[in-house]
Amino acid sequence: MQYRLSEGQVRFLRLRAQRLDRRSPESAADVAGIAKEMCGLQAQDLAAAALAVRARSTGLAARDVDRARVDERSVVRTWCMRGTLHLLATEDLGWLLPLLGPVFIRESERRYAELGLDESTRANSTRALRGVLESYGPLTRAEIVQRLAALGVALEGQAVPHLLRYAALVGTICLGPDRHGEPTYVILRDWVNCGPALAPDEAPAVLAQRYLFAYGPAAPDDLAAWSGLPMSVVRTAWQRIAGQLLRVECAGRPVWLLASRAGWLDEVPPRSRLVSLLPSFDAYLLGYRDRDLVVAPEHARRIHPGGGGLSPTLLVDGSAAGVWKANRQRDHLEVAIEPFRDLPEDAKQGLEAEAEDLARFLEVKVRYSVLPPTPADTNR
């Protein structure tokens, strides 16, 4: 049977896969389970990663994310997909880092050369870094620079974050507990048990299957954009799991979902609005080659204002309906929602429930306001 899906149907299926419908009986109940199901959550902003957990769970609080990362160590914050910081299930590190780390190291060779970090320098500096952390860790970035300088390893400017990222991509270090709001670094293998490795030819196929579990329906170029893997590797991985996939069409474009979820195609979307306050850099917006299915062209600059930023987004039935911002006050959190157009009454009710859940998750009082809609950006 050939399935042809509307854009709205694809959005609903993606919401369902990403646990943004909040109703799945198979949804994970803890932070590590969510990180595993999503195959990582973007975490260059740790607070945003915690809010991504909130959007995909019920009953968890921000302190549960800290507990999972620092006390239980069931999740780890380190560089992975696209060479960016992610919050990952600890048990996945043993196969994700060997698969993705070398890709981003190769892509960074020119920048390493510009910074004086040739292969020998990186290797020697990483060994010195390991010794410093074994003796004094956990350490902040500034403390690492100071300790390395005492050993004759001088790092300046952008060489510092690039070396730390390199050391994480080769599996030497990861981010540890925060100290006064600043991250520290620890030796990965001393901090956690990374989980089992996979054969080099098996890992890309596992990643493709895991990607579709959390992001399908999607296409191979979506997986490449989300992961950072070369298309040649992605195509081979896609072929290896072809027997597990169901091909559908949306707007004339083929996309795939796991065949085990074929029953989802017969489900009727809920009558009530699905409203979410997504944080900045959310996986629902970052998980695909483009955001055209979610963000109308006239609002693209509001969602992606440039400079690598991605705004916190008000989502209604899978489409971007506005942006929002939060400012911490002395005794509460001030949340301002800026819709792109007037919200229907049932969406306002969903938004009120989201604001209440945000207050529960952060364990603070939240006051929210809905600003008048702003004109669309017609000068794209």
Q: Which CATH number is 8's domain given?
A: 1.10.10
pLDDT of 379: 46
Structure confidence at residue 24 as a pLDDT band (50, 70, 90): low
What pLDDT, on the 0 to 100 scale, is given for residue 274? 93
Q: How many domains does the chain have?
A: 3
Give 289's pLDDT tier (boundaries 50, 70, 90): very high
How many angstroms separate the Cα of 183 from the Cα of each of 12, 142, 144, 222? 37, 11, 12, 31
Of 237, 266, 295, the residue that ends a domain is 266
Give the residue from 51, 72, 71 showing the smallest Cα distance to 62. Answer: 51
Tokens of 265: 């195609």
For 291, the domain range is 275-370
Same domain, 233 and 105: no
18, 38 contact by CB (below 8 A): yes
Position 380 confidence tier, pLDDT thresholds 50, 70, 90: very low
Report the alpha-carbon distance of residue 187 to residue 167 in Å, rounded: 10
Domain's final residue, options 170, 191, 212: 191
For residue 278, list its beta bridge partners: 313
**Is 90 exceeded by the pLDDT of residue 1?**
no
Please provide the average confidence, as pLDDT, over all residues in the chain: 94
pTM of the model: 0.94
Q: How far is CA 201 from the centre of its chain?
A: 25
| Same domain, yes or no: 90 and 211 | no
Q: Is residue 207 part of a domain?
A: yes
Choosing from 266, 286, 319, the residue where a domain stops is 266
